[in-house]
Structure 1
Amino acid sequence: MKVVPTLEGGLKVELEADHDIEVLEMILTDAGQPEVLSAELAELMEASDDWDELMSPELWEMFYGHLAIVGKAVKAAKELGSLHIEKSSGDAWYSALNQARLRLEREYQLHSKGDLVMEDDVSRNAYIRDRFYCTLQTLLLDFVMGLND
């Protein structure tokens, strides 16, 4: 898989191996469900009962919207042989990748285990996906979202 910036301010991910599309599909799986995100944020905020009524529906809508954008692009990549991340969808991609990384960290404690993360295939694969997601987020910041201009 190669990731290159486009002239239009986006990214193009060129799929080179059969499993590349599977890695991209894992973003959606690793990101999980908005109910989990909402509950985790509520715990951090020590929220009242109003949290579920006021914030959760808005977070769910935003979260599902981001995942829908990512899912549509990944589905198109299957047919095209490459993934295109447009400037207009940079925030959605960053959000989905961030949620995927947060869930991987919560489930596998990737950064607190050190070398222990490499003990089994499942943890090792989660760690590799986390590093890929982090790299893709960095490229989004540098080339799509324009935060380093």
Structure 2
Amino acid sequence: MGDDRTLDMIAIAAGRVTVSDQRTRSHWSVDLAPYQLAAVPVTQALYARVTGRRPSAARGDRLPVESVSWRDAVRFCNSLSRQQGLPPVYRLDGDGVECDATGGYRLPTDGGRPVGPLLDIIYIIEPPRARRIAFEYT
């Protein structure tokens, strides 16, 4: 696991997954390109380093960040992307959020809906290789 200044990424190979919606009892297959997935949830220290905010009710730098909205989570991904020299994925327009398919950090979604707790998983699409992203505190 990385320290409070890093986000360890795990390479995930291309493949096909089956997605299901329990409410409608439907399922479908989705082809996935190779991507990288964060090994651990975003910590409060990393979230504060990127956004300058500490929204979590339970305090602790190494604890996962919580108490963030969907819009806060996409803003975090865009800020992290910019800090790493990557293009932001999301465009926020009024109440809407649009997702661009280019590289940059994003939340796992299915048709724009989150598939897990916000910021528990963050990923980046790029060739599959392990990558450790380090942040310097100022």
TM-score by length of 1: 0.30
Relative to its length, the structure with more helix (as a share) is: 1
Question: Quick check: which has more Rg, 1 or 2?
Answer: 1
Bigger strand fraction: 2
Using the size of structure 2 for normalisation, the TM-score is: 0.32
